[in-house]
């Protein structure tokens, strides 16, 4: 369900004004600090939490991310928010979806599963220029910025390549509800509710490769 409409962009812009200064401040270190474009970890340590069907699960990333290079991007990672990939990493039209929940407010509780530019085998930087208007920033200011802090919701417990979509969360009440219920069903209900503080999904050209390996 895609509610990233023009009205959604306006609401996102209001909330994002709280963090635009942080995003712009990070641009000065984006190119130098994240030139490698990825947080590559050995498989044994390449694990994070995720939420799925009311549970907190562990996911493990056996290989690095994929971003479709036929989509133009100013980030050294080649990863772009605001448009979908033209091609995926493999010829499979029925890919699972990873929803990346990004808090657009200060001090979310619980803390995001991944701090800024820290998740294993994720890109370390991304291009947000296609949604710059919603962020209240100029395209150049957000064309190559660190991957934001975020949490994960899965659309099931499959393995392999997962298509990445961004969901913006603009207030603590919505964030706490998502953390308590740990499910796509709750996320979808909030997306369908006006002024819930949950907006999206926003497409990307990004895929992550991981498997669900247990519960926490």
Average pLDDT taken over every residue of the chain = 84
Q: What is the dihedral of CA 31, 32, 38, 39, to 10 degrees?
A: -140
The bridge status of strand 96-103 relative to strand 159-169 is parallel
Report the pLDDT value the prediction gives residue 136, as an integer from 0 to 100.
87
The bridge status of strand 198-215 relative to strand 66-67 is antiparallel
Give the residue-averaged pLDDT of 173-198.
98
Report the pLDDT value the prediction gives residue 128, as an integer from 0 to 100.
96
Q: Report the alpha-carbon distance of residue 133 to residue 169 in Å, rounded.
A: 17
pLDDT digits (tens, 9 = 90+) for 100-121: 999 999 999 999 999 998 889 9
What is the Cα gyration radius of the chain?
Answer: 16
Whole-prediction pTM value?
A: 0.83
Q: How far is CA 59 from CA 38, 83, 124, 209, in A?
A: 18, 26, 18, 10
pLDDT category of residue 134 using cuts at 50, 70 and 90: confident
pLDDT category of residue 135 using cuts at 50, 70 and 90: confident
**Pick from 100, 213, 96, 216: which is nearest to 158 by CA?**
96
Q: How far is CA 139 from CA 31, 132, 149, 160, 169, in A?
A: 16, 5, 20, 33, 21
């Amino acid at each position: 369900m895609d509610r990233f409409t023009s009205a959604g962009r306006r609401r996102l812009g209001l909330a994002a004004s709280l963090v635009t200064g942080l995003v712009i401040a990070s641009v000065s270190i984006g190119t130098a600090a994240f030139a490698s474009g990825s947080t590559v970890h050995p498989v044994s340590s390449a694990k994070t939490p995720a939420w799925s069907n009311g549970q907190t699960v562990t996911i493990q990333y056996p290989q690095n991310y994929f971003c479709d290079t036929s989509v133009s991007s100013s980030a050294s990672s080649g990863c772009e928010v605001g448009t979908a990939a033209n091609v995926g990493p493999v010829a499979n039209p029925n890919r699972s979806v990873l929803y990346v929940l990004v808090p657009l407010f200060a001090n979310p509780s619980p803390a995001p599963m991944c701090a800024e530019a820290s998740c294993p085998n994720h890109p370390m930087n991304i291009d947000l220029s296609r949604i710059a208007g919603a962020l209240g920033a100029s395209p150049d200011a957000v064309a190559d910025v660190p991957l934001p802090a975020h949490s994960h919701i899965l659309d099931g417990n499959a393995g392999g390549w997962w298509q990445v979509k961004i969901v913006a969360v603009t207030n603590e009440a919505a964030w706490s509800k998502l953390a308590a219920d740990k499910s796509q069903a709750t996320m979808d209900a909030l997306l369908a509710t006006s002024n819930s503080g949950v907006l999206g999904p926003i497409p990307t050209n990004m895929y992550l490769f991981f498997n669900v390996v247990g519960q926490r």
